[in-house]
Amino acid sequence: MFDEVNSNVDFPALEKRVIQLWRERDVFRRSVDRPAPRGDWVFYEGPPTANGKPGIHHVIARAFKDLFPRFKTMQGYRVGRKGGWDTHGLPVEIAIEKRLGFTNKGQIDEYGIAEFNALCRADVFSNIQDWNAMTERIGFWIDLADPYITYTNEYIESCWWIMKDLFDRGLLVEDYKTTWHSPSSNTTLASHEVSLGYQEDVEDPSIYPKFPAILGDLVARGVVAADETRPVSFLAWTTTPWTLAANSGLAVRADATYALVAGPARRREPAGERELYLLANELVARVFEAGTYEVLGSVPGATLAGATYRPLLVGRPGDGADPSSAYRVVADDFVSLTDGTGIVHVAPAYGDLDVGRAHGLPAIFSVDLTGKVMPEVRLVPDEDAALGTGSDALGARGPYAGVWFKDADSAITADLDAAGRMFDSGTVRHAYPFNWRDGKPLMNVAKRSWYVRTTAVKELLLANNDRIGWHPDHVRTGRFGKWLENNIDWALSRERYWGAPMPVWETEDGGKKVCVGSVAELERLTGRDLKDLDLHRPYVDEITFELDGETYRRVPYTVDVWFESGAMPYAQWHYLGDASGPEAKERLAANFPADYICEAVDQTRGWFYSLHALATLLTDPGDEASGRRPGPLARLSAPTSAFKNVNVLGHIVDENGEKMSKSKGNTVDPWSVLDVQGADALRWYLYSASPPESTKRFSAGLVDETLRDFFLTLWNVYGFFVLYANLEEPDLASAPPRAERPLVDRWLVSRLNAVVAGVTAALEGFDPTTASRLVRDFVVDEVSNWYVRRNRRRFWRSGQVQGESGKRMLDPDSLSAYATLHEALVAVTKLMAPMAPFTSEALYQNLVLRHDPSAPDSVHLTDWPQAEAAAIDEDLMRDMRALMRLVELGRAARAASGVKLRQPLPEVLVRVRSEEELEGVRSLSDQLLDELNVKAVRFLAVTDDFVDYALKPNLPRLGKRVGKLIPQLRAALEGMDGRAVAANVRAGLPTTVALADTTLELEPEDLLLDARSPEGYAAQEERGYLVALDTRVSDVLRREGLVRDVVRLVQNGRKAAGLDVSDRIALSIRAEGELAEAVREHGATLAREVLAVSLDDAPAPGSFQESHEVEGASLTFAIRKA
């Protein structure tokens, strides 16, 4: 009837057989092509880079990405799953630079851009076989035969089309701004890239440099000491000594008061000759040590504006900069009085460009774009007054020339200290951005770059975000929403090599620019056939054209790779707007926006943002009031993000909560798990351990726990069903109608349909954690530990009766049990299918296809189960739930009292929480008696108390709130009426406790109730449920318990003798004393339980024998197959 089930299942081997079955039957393609009555459901694959081997974090993302397309396919949607590869950018370039031993871009130019990019092209798929193998092995169904690849001409051309549209609408512009720059890679980074590399708790210098004031300016402003010739210093604070040579101004707050202070030359020097300083009055006590300073006077910040000073170091003035306008004090509201000195060192070239522009301060540079200190940088000697205007008269190469900018900090600090220009130096720990790919620090520098003006559509970005189904929801207004609220223009251009080239050509003087949107447009401009042109550097760099007598050359930039990945909804189809082919237009219309995407949380400022920003720009309806033109997709779609729903995944850590890293030796090779526990156990653990957004602890051991807890339990139930079904050959089609089946069967069917409804709702809400836990609890707690255990006898051959035709057949009760369990197992295989695609397939092939060859030949080609509302009996489920709770408490009471479960007891007293539950449990009392192995049950009224209670405070809830009053609270609770308080707790009412000096009102959750049993009883109480077992054992009951021990030993003997579960046996038993009396008294029960056709005390020759001691009495039994 069914294929035999091996109890020693090898899940990895099973999964490999399933993969082969899928290949042979072409199941993935057929699942995409199957009829889709509910239409398309669109999934976008976030493209990975295949130049490194896949790690466990890649497995996690792919496990979640696979689940929902499978689920939606079974629901009747068509889910195309086009794969993709991210092939450009710094990750690839850095890998090649390391291979070649390069340390700067100049070496790439010398090597040759064409040769370098050829190595990049070859490298991007260096590990493609590993990626493909891992993808197939974990069951991630994605079309890798026809993926989009970001380095193809077609993909790049679609990116050009987008940039052309933005350029024509005035949204792609060149500007001179301070932007985050990676000196190690010598390229601009966009804000979302910068956010990926922020490191917390970075140690940096914290110094207080002294800028010598021009005394005449201070005297003119009424800032004077007793001796007007004593020098005065503006005391500033900075964490970037390397920018001091770029200083061109000092900023104060106009509405703040500044103090003239006499203090030591250095912060921690003993009182002696004092120097004069100017700093914010509010911060004097923080900056100076107590007792070391004296405030001589004060002056408004506004008064200091216009005063001049001498620089500490000099640098290189920027193009067109006028050094004579430098070294002035300016007043600006950005100055903070919460830290530092209230005087801000302004370096317009390195982050303060807007301040510099507002006050006419020139940009002076100290570090080049490769992060090396410029040769002009050096200290200004005291006697060189001319340098007060930023002179470059020093000429010769400075002492820091060519030093890495962060390495120069210590030398500059030491030299300023030696020159008497440093009041204090130390370190500070703060957040600082690093290159997210090579881990080297960034710098904020003024430079020309190209920007997408995302700020022009900020409100639309926010509005579209409000319509996204974020999972978890807090990302909408939290991490992603706040990112959008603080949106700045997108720095798009990159000074790199392996990437989509920026399609802007300009005249020699840069005065005129043309943005090209396609190869066809470039052909028109050049008059050349360019269909074979590789749209990469250096080939595209060589293309020039003439317009109105002027030569246009391409700007030397590639574009942000996040722009490329964000363009995938359009570029994957080679969409070019009106110039697109019919298929590209049709594909985009059917596949935009996505119904679902999924990546890790760091993509909120990466791929999620680039998708969202480009879709918002392209579907922008425009704004007549501001003159903003509509986007090219506005006629196809209302304003939208590129995706409707998204699962944001948390990071993965080791089992101790530590971040995984090779240096710590705590990384996990995914194959080490796939080859031992298997893909399904790995996937199930990822779904069920915690919500998708949570940080996940991971180890092979945790996956192994999932395997044993869920998969082996399911396998055992499946094996139990198949074993007995093959023995009995039940005709499942002739099973009694549900309504005529026993109560426990109707309960299981009810629970099954409730679980179907719950799992469906959870997956509709993109909540695999709830879905997987519902399936697990149903299989483990309700099917295995309750239904199968309680109904095992109904599956035995003894249930057969003679039919009218004389053919042996199952009685209706047994047939009902088979049909009910089969129905539950088949439904579970379908509910599991999106989450555990291999095991579900294996069970389906045997339970369904082996039984019904006309069924779809894969579980992944079946329809999703539908919950039948009429089959869900809420009252029955409530009553059985209460019964199961009582059984759990009863077993706990037995364990606490030391009375084993095989020992029958005379009576159990039970109390439930409501009259409805009382009536329901009363109707199930036979099951309660059987489960607790008692002879009678006495039902207490809902309001009855049979036990007393010791009251204790719930310290996890009360510890912080009550604190030192805990001892008083304990004493007060000891004197209270435990039964009265317990009644309050059961009713959900607060309890008032009077202490010496105060009164506490405690919620039910604030109290722990410790039930104290009367003499002769073992009781357990929880949440209003009470079970009290009468533990007094009579001689009759004791003998019955002894026989149950004998049954257990004989059953174990059957297994040891190698007998099948259905084999009948001849049993011989020799025992002594009360044990012998127990066997004689309960011989019929013993024989029935162990399938013995005879019971005597003379073992037959060749019998299997064992001897044991039972409660101090000897026992010898012999068994042989009858």
Question: Which pLDDT tens digit goes with each residue over 992-1036?
Answer: 999 988 999 999 999 988 888 788 899 998 888 999 999 999 999
Asked about 490 being catalytic, the answer comes back as: no
Asked about 811 being catalytic, the answer comes back as: no
Task: Tell whether the model's pLDDT for residue 388 goes beyond 60.
Answer: no
Asked about 659 being catalytic, the answer comes back as: yes
pTM, 2 dp: 0.85
Q: Is 395 exposed, middle or buried (0-12, 13-18, 19+ CB in 10 A)?
A: exposed
Q: Cα–Cα distance between 676 and 699 in angstroms, integer?
A: 12
Catalytic residue among 75, 572, 603, 845: 603
Task: Tell whether the model's pLDDT for residue 391 goes beyond 50.
Answer: no
Comparison of pLDDT for 381 and 173, the residue scoring more: 173
Q: In 3D, which of 20, 117, 263, 170 has the Cα closest to residue 489?
A: 170
Task: Tell whether the model's pLDDT for residue 410 goes beyond 60.
Answer: yes
Q: Write out 736-797 in H/E/C secondary structure.
A: CCHHHCCHHHHHHHHHHHHHHHHHHHHHHCCCHHHHHHHHHHHHHHHHHHHHHHHHHHHHCH
The residue-averaged pLDDT of 389-398 equals: 55
Q: Which pair of structure tokens corresponds to residue 1069?
A: 């038993």
Is the dihedral angle over the CA atoms 48, 53, 56, 59 positive or is it negative? positive
Contact 981, 991 (CB under 8 A): yes
User: Burial code of 417-453, b = ≥16 C-beta within 10 A, e = fewer?
Assistant: beeebbbbbeeeeeebbbbbbeeebbbbbbbebbbbb
* pLDDT, position 799: 53
Task: Please tell me what DSSP assigns to residue 817.
Answer: H
Asked about 141 being catalytic, the answer comes back as: no
Looking at every residue in the chain, the average pLDDT score rounds to 92
Task: Tell whether the model's pLDDT for residue 56 goes beyond 50.
Answer: yes
* pLDDT, position 179: 87
* pLDDT, position 385: 42
Contact 724, 679 (CB under 8 A): no
| Ramachandran bin of 885, using left for φ above 0, alpha for ψ from -120 to 50, beta for the remaining angles | alpha
The residue-averaged pLDDT of 1-22 equals: 96
List helix spans (H) across 606-728.
607-618, 670-674, 679-688, 700-706, 712-728
Asked about 47 being catalytic, the answer comes back as: yes
The residue-averaged pLDDT of 959-985 equals: 88
Amino acid at 271: A
Task: Tell whether the model's pLDDT for residue 266 goes beyond 50.
Answer: yes
List strands edge to edge, sheet with 645-649: 469-471, 645-649, 597-600
Strand ranges for 357-498 from DSSP E: 364-365, 378-379, 422-433, 443-452, 469-471, 490-491, 493-494
Q: Which pair of structure tokens corresponds to residue 861?
A: 């080609």
Q: Cα–Cα distance between 923 and 259 in angstroms, integer?
A: 87
Contacts of 407 (CB under 8 A, 6+ apart): none
* pLDDT, position 198: 86
- Least confident range from 205-209, 928-932, 977-981: namely 977-981
Q: Cα–Cα distance between 963 and 960 in angstroms, integer?
A: 5
In the beta sheet, which residues pair with residue 48?
A: none
- Least confident range from 408-422, 719-733, 787-801, 859-873: namely 787-801
Residue with tokens 């340098």: 387
Q: Cα–Cα distance between 497 and 305 in angstroms, integer?
A: 46
What is the Cα gyration radius of the chain?
A: 40
Catalytic residue among 22, 237, 242, 562: 562
Q: Which pair of structure tokens corresponds to residue 187?
A: 């390229």
Q: CA separation (Å) from 1044 to 442, 874, 904, 960, 1037? A: 75, 36, 9, 51, 11
Asked about 607 being catalytic, the answer comes back as: yes
Strand ranges for 124-164 from DSSP E: 143-149
* pLDDT, position 393: 44
Q: In 3D, which of 879, 874, 877, 895 has the Cα closest to residue 928?
A: 879
Q: CA separation (Å) from 38 to 412, 469, 863, 888? A: 69, 20, 12, 45
The hierarchical CATH code for the domain 199-433 is: 3.90.740.10
- Least confident range from 207-211, 722-726, 825-829, 1096-1100: namely 1096-1100
The residue-averaged pLDDT of 826-846 equals: 98
Task: Tell whether the model's pLDDT for residue 394 goes beyond 50.
Answer: no
- Least confident range from 9-18, 134-143, 212-221: namely 212-221
Instruction: Compute the CA torsion angle 922, 923, 925, 927 (nearest 10 deg).
Output: -150
Catalytic residue among 270, 532, 662, 802: 662
Catalytic residue among 607, 684, 715, 864: 607
Q: Cα–Cα distance between 494 and 497 in angstroms, integer?
A: 9
Task: Tell whether the model's pLDDT for residue 810 goes beyond 50.
Answer: yes
Task: Tell whether the model's pLDDT for residue 256 goes beyond 90.
Answer: yes
Task: Tell whether the model's pLDDT for residue 901 goes beyond 70.
Answer: yes
Catalytic residue among 86, 123, 332, 873: 86
Q: In 3D, which of 192, 194, 82, 197 has the Cα closest to residue 563?
A: 192
Catalytic residue among 98, 512, 659, 900: 659
The residue-averaged pLDDT of 624-632 equals: 93
* pLDDT, position 178: 86
| Phi–psi pair at 50, nearest 5 degrees | -100, 20
Catalytic residue among 47, 593, 670, 837: 47
Fold of the domain spanning 686-864: Isoleucyl-tRNA Synthetase; Domain 1 (1.10.730)
Comparison of pLDDT for 997 and 400, the residue scoring more: 400
Task: Tell whether the model's pLDDT for residue 390 goes beyond 50.
Answer: no
Contact 378, 314 (CB under 8 A): yes
* pLDDT, position 49: 85
- Report the run of H or E that residue 917 belongs to, with start and end: helix 915-923
Helix, strand, or coil (residue 974): helix
Is the dihedral angle over the CA atoms 585, 589, 593, 596 positive or is it negative? negative
Q: How confident is the model at residue 709 (pLDDT cuts 50, 70, 90)?
A: very high
The residue-averaged pLDDT of 417-430 equals: 93
Neighbours of 723 (CB within 10 A): 18
* Number of residues assigned to the chain: 1122
Contact 42, 80 (CB under 8 A): yes
The residue-averaged pLDDT of 357-385 equals: 87
Q: Which pair of structure tokens corresponds to residue 1021?
A: 């109480």
**Domain assignments of the chain as residue spans, ordered by start:** 199-433, 686-864, 878-1030, 1035-1121
Asked about 217 being catalytic, the answer comes back as: no
Q: CA separation (Å) from 492 to 448, 474, 504? A: 11, 29, 12
Percentage of the chain beyond pLDDT 70 is: 97
